[in-house]
Amino acid sequence: MEWTLFGLFLISAILLGFSLVKSYRDSKVEKKQIDLVHVSIMKEINSIQDSIRDIELDIEVVINEAGIHLSADEKLFMREVIDLYRRNYSIESIAEKKEVPETEIEQLLTPYLKIKDEGGLVANAN
């Protein structure tokens, strides 16, 4: 009986040792996978940041070449108005939200307004 208990205790200790070694190896493999994913995500983030930087520089060049001089507040205002328009807000609601006259919003959005039914007008003109 004593030898049986000793044998069972010895087997459980061996199994515990194998379990610890296996979990250690598995955790190393998981760490490597996490590190690989982290590195790839960081590369993607750096790539996106480079693209954004290039776009910002391109926009700055275009603005300087066009001779447009807007302050930071004016750029922000324009960006917000165009964003609201592209999200299908009406000109009236944009004017109300920004607390400016509708005519000012219309003037700002004139280059960005979508011309609807243009094809129908051209076809009926003949």
Model pTM above 0.85? no
88-122 pLDDT per residue, tens? 899 999 999 999 998 999 988 888 776 554 555 55
Residue 33 domain-assigned?
A: yes
- d(CA 57, CA 64) in angstroms, rounded, equals 11
Q: How many domains does the chain have?
A: 2
45 and 74 together in one domain:
no
What does the pLDDT read at residue 95? 92
59 and 95 together in one domain:
no
26-46 pLDDT per residue, tens? 999 999 999 999 999 999 999
Q: Of 122, 10, 124, 26, nearest to 2 (Cα)?
A: 10
Weakest mean pLDDT among 9-13, 80-84, 107-111: 107-111
Query: What is the span of the domain harbouring residue 46?
Result: 27-69
DSSP sequence for 56-119:
HHHHHHHHHHHT----HHHHHHHHHHHHHHHTT--HHHHHHHHTS-HHHHHHHHGGGPPPTTHH
